Amino acid sequence: MAKIAVNIFRTSAAVAVFCLSGLSANAQSGSAERPPVEKVYDRHEDKIVLEITNDMWLNVPEGVDLRGFSPGAKVYLYSDYTFGESDVSFAWGLGVSVDNVHSNAEFIQESAEEGTVGDQILTPFSETYEYNKNKFVTTFIELPLELRYIKTGRNPFKLAAGFRVGYMISNHQKIIDTEGKRKYYDFDNMNRLRYGVSARLGVGMVQLTGFYSLVPLIESGKGSEDITAVSLGLSFTFIK
């Protein structure tokens, strides 16, 4: 009887081990079949936008040549409002735009009657004049607005169309020639208020950007009034 009992015990133990092994295998098989965990990315809100641009003028007078690359810098702080759970949002903010335009010309104010201001004319340098650098700099405080489409993801596709309104807080011309460095400030007849259209297009943290002013640089009827500011470059959005 004792031997029979021992055999029954051994058989039961073997069956139990076999069953437990099967359950463990099923459990492991079940866990392996679970779908992988997918990371959910927060939507980019582009709170800070930094732009490095090539600044230029359209409709310059005859004889005026612009340098191929005139680097400028812009920085904007935005607040982003998303329409529900969509990828579309509206953003508004505040920023500073510094435009630098290199050329072979300077603004010369025509003579006028005493107590009045003459026209501001963009005039090319003489061909015999030697200089190392010549640029005209304008600085604007701007209020940018953007309608955005930003796809959620790690490196999202971004498209933004906007409008900017700015006020010129300073302007100056910097010339470096054989006599040294000179700066001339606060030119007359400049349009202090500027507005225009903007756009950004890209993927992830880098986008192509552009701005076209709808207001000429010089006031109407007061000089070289057809000069229009345009900027093209890259924008960087390091902060979501």
- For the stretch 62-78, pLDDT in tens is 999 999 999 999 999 99
- For the stretch 197-207, pLDDT in tens is 999 999 999 99
In terms of residue numbers, what domain contains 213?
48-239
- Same domain? 3 vs 121: no
The domain total for the chain is 2
- Same domain? 31 vs 67: no
3-state secondary structure of 104: coil
**Nearest-angstrom CA–CA distance, 240 and 48:** 8
pTM of model > 0.95: no
Q: Does 43 map to a domain?
A: no
Amino acid in position 17: V
- For the stretch 175-226, pLDDT in tens is 999 989 999 999 999 999 999 999 999 999 999 999 999 999 999 999 998 9
Residues whose CB falls within 8 Å of the CB of residue 11, separated by 6 or more in sequence, listed in order: none
Which runs of E-coded beta strand occur in the chain? 48-58, 71-82, 88-102, 105-109, 120-124, 131-150, 157-177, 180-185, 193-203, 206-213, 228-239
- For the stretch 150-169, pLDDT in tens is 998 888 999 999 999 999 99
